[in-house]
Amino acid sequence: MELGRVLEPQKDFRERLLFVRGLYHEEARKGNIHSSQTGNMLSGAPIASGGEIKSGTSFDQMLAQTYGRSTKVPSLVLHCSSMMVGAKHNNDELPIIVLGGAGGRLKTGRTLDYKEKPERQLCRLFMSMMDKMEVRPKTFGGAQKMLEEV
């Protein structure tokens, strides 16, 4: 797996990383640029016309509800970016990097590219990751099925 210039400092860890590209965030298309693009990224909660966000349970908190009792820190940190290209804010091709293999449940050291595939919602990635941790909601943020390759 080749890393670009920006990720070069992470080269020693590349076999522990999963790169996912080409996903999009449908709800972010409904409102203004900042609140709509990041305000509900981890929950997929619906956004009303004009950018009003109705809060939902985020991906990390879905996992914390199950694993929070068995760890000192009942959450996890996930960084997502709404920019694939710095000069253009959009949610049509979200870059995602997953660090760690969920105790061997997640195959790392690879890149998954969904740019040209149908059904490439970001919330499907979150459903897949929750499934690896044995948390299985029927739907999440508008997604009804997982990304099978994850």
Sign of the four-CA dihedral 48, 50, 56, 58:
positive
As a whole number, mean pLDDT of residues 45-68 equals 74
d(CA 38, CA 91): 9
Picking from 22-26, 27-31, 73-77, 102-106, which range would have the lowest pLDDT averaged per residue? 73-77
Q: Could you report the per-residue pLDDT of 27-37, keeping only the tens digit for each? A: 666 666 565 56
Q: Could you report the per-residue pLDDT of 85-123, keeping only the tens digit for each? A: 666 666 677 788 887 777 788 888 899 999 888 888 888
Lay out the sheet containing 17-23: strands in order across. Answer: 94-99, 17-23, 110-113
Contact indicator for 108, 16 with CB cutoff of 8 Å: yes
9-13, 41-45, 90-94, 100-104: range with highest mean pLDDT: 9-13
Q: CA angle at residue 95 from 94 to 100, to 5 degrees?
A: 130
